[in-house]
Amino acid sequence: MSQQDWPLWEVFIRSKQGLDHKHAGSLHAADAQMAIENARDVYTRRMEGVSIWVVESKYVHASNPDDAASFYDPANDKVYRHPTFYKLPDELKNM
Amino acid sequence: MVYQHHNESRKPGGDFSYGHLWGSSHDSALIAFTLHLADDALILGHRNSEWTGRGPVLEQDIAISNIALDLIGQARNFYQYAAGLINELSLSARSPEDQNSLFNSSDTTEDSLAYLRDSWDFKNCLLVEQPNGDWARTILRQFFFSAFQYYLYEQLQSARHAGLAAIAEKAFKETAYHLQWSSEWVIRLGDGTDESHVRMQQSLDLLWPYTGELFRPTNYELFCIREGICPDISLLKPSWDAKVLEIFAEATLAVPRNVWMQSGGKEGRHTEHLGYLLAEMQFLQRTYPGNDW
């Protein structure tokens, strides 16, 4: 079989106690069903998870690390955005 | 004076080749049937393990190795159960003609059953001992056998015999996955490229004659069926046929017609392949008896 044609898939696994799917790794597969079965065979052997998501790698779009400065630095000194910044008056009981 | 003829020589693990014992008593039939289930699983597990490190694709190497491990796990459960039965029986005294029989051994273990019996004592069906061939043949063999195991274990879970039922319950879930995995490969290769289709058809022609044996009960199976220990395997055939037709339709494969079916494996009459397989599988245990690693 011509493996060059098999796309790469990113695998996300949610553990039994978890709420979110975490990235577990990647693998090659011909289609989504095979990708899920491969993920089950490769990434859940030791009961790591109870739910599997697979996404073709080409559909995962990532931010550019070169933009990190303009993307993330400005948030560093805007403390007023945090919910802990302001104090509620005592009269407010139901906030 | 101990009477001996060539079948009765005391071999490690005892002698299982008493054709007349099987089916003549509840215990013999139950043991024979348990060994048949164990041997099926062990031999197919061993065959699949021959792919480890040689799989066509990394993830499929892992998949087939996982399936091999599942099967060997099932085999262990059945062998342990059979060893327990054998040891129990040997403790309750026997008649003189059993002096040299398996019932005389009180130290049978899963290992002695797996590694110290010879091919004529193995009760696996002929299908599972067939060589791996290419990937198409391996997945087709798996599909045929897993579909059979699926319907067998499904029924065996509710069998009267609690020991076997418990093993079947766990194995059933594993088998469901084996069936799903192999079905999809049958479809992908059957309805794949011209080459994959031709290879599938060749393997189909080669393996089909071994599928009939799965549904033809031997005398110990008939005995167990009457006792409610095991489901009537001949009644599993319609479900199996339906499953095969369903998958083959999508795989654009045609079921062969009017094919004479091979048999004999369950009674210890095997193809020449089993001898070579056991020579490899049993070599270490026989050369260094009692060693573990």
Query: Mind telling me how many Å the CA of A38 is from chain B's nearest CA?
Result: 6
Closest C-alpha to B34, from B71, B78, B67, B91: B78
The whole-angstrom separation of Cα A4 and Cα A27 is 13
Which pLDDT tens digit goes with each residue over B130-157? 999 999 999 999 999 999 999 999 999 9
Instruction: Decide if pLDDT at A44 tops 50.
Output: yes
In a domain, B5, yes or no: no
Which pLDDT value is given to residue B91?
61
The CA distance from B44 to the nearest CA of chain A, in Å, is 19
Interface of B with A (CB under 8 A): 56-60, 62-63, 66, 177, 180-181, 184, 188, 192, 196
In a domain, B176, yes or no: yes
CATH tag, A3-62: 3.10.20.520
Flag whether B201 is in a domain: yes
Measured between beta carbons, the chain A residues lying within 8 angstroms of B57 are 1, 3, 28
- Looking up residue B234, the CATH number of its domain turns out to be 1.20.1260.10
Q: Is residue B2 part of a domain?
A: no
Under an 8 A CB cutoff, do A3 and B57 touch?
Answer: yes
Yes or no, beta carbons of B62 and A33 under 8 Å apart? no
Q: Does A37 touch chain B (CB under 8 A)?
A: yes
Residue with tokens 């046929």: B241
Q: Which amino acid is at B272?
A: E
> Count of CB contacts below 8 A, A vs B?
31
**Nearest-CA distance from A59 to chain B in Å?**
22
Provide the Cα torsion A11, A17, A18, A24; round to 10°. Answer: -20
- In chain A, which residues have their Cβ closer than 8 Å to the Cβ of B192? 1
Interface touch A28/B57, C-beta < 8 Å? yes
The burial of A68, by beta-carbon neighbours within 10 Å (0-12 exposed, 13-18 middle, 19 or more buried), is given as exposed
The DSSP line for B70-105 is HHHHHHHHHHHHHHHHHHHHHHS---GGGTTSGGG-
Please state the rounded mean pLDDT for residues A17-35: 93
Closest C-alpha to B147, from B124, B184, B187, B178: B178
Q: What are the chain B neighbours of A38 within 8 Å (beta carbons)? A: 59-60, 62-63
pLDDT digit string, tens, across residues A74-88: 888 887 787 777 778
Q: Cα–Cα distance between B193 and A94 in angstroms, integer?
A: 67
What's the whole-model pTM score?
A: 0.86
Contact B59 A29 (CB under 8 A): yes
DSSP B116-129: S--GGG----HHHH
Instruction: Give the chain A residue nearest B136 (alpha carbons).
Output: A1
What is the rounded CA–CA span in Å between residue B210 and residue B206?
8
Q: Which amino acid is at B18?
A: Y
The dihedral built from the CA positions of residue B150, B161, B101 and B263, taken in this order, carries a sign that is negative
Q: Cβ of A55 under 8 Å from any chain B Cβ?
A: no
The total number of structural domains in chain B stands at 1
Flag whether B77 is in a domain: yes
Residue B121: per-residue pLDDT: 94
Which chain B residues touch A28 with a CB distance below 8 Å?
57-59
Asked if A27 is an interface residue toward chain B (Cβ–Cβ < 8 A), one would say yes
* Structural domain that includes position B230: 26-287
Q: Give me the pLDDT at residue B159, please.
A: 83
Kindly indicate whether the ipTM for this predicted assembly is greater than 0.90, answering yes or no. Answer: no
CB atoms B62 and A42 under 8 Å = yes
Per-residue confidence (pLDDT) for residue A48, from 0 to 100:
84
Q: Which regions in chain B score pLDDT beneath 50?
A: 1-24, 93-94, 96, 98-100, 103-104
Q: Is B101 exposed, middle or buried (0-12, 13-18, 19+ CB in 10 A)?
A: buried
How far A41 CA sits from the closest chain B CA (Å)?
6
Q: Taking Cα atoms as reference points, which of B196, B195, B217, B193 lies closest to residue B140?
A: B196
Q: Residue B200: what are its φ and ψ, rounded to 5°?
A: -65, -45
Q: What is the mean pLDDT of residues A59-65?
A: 92
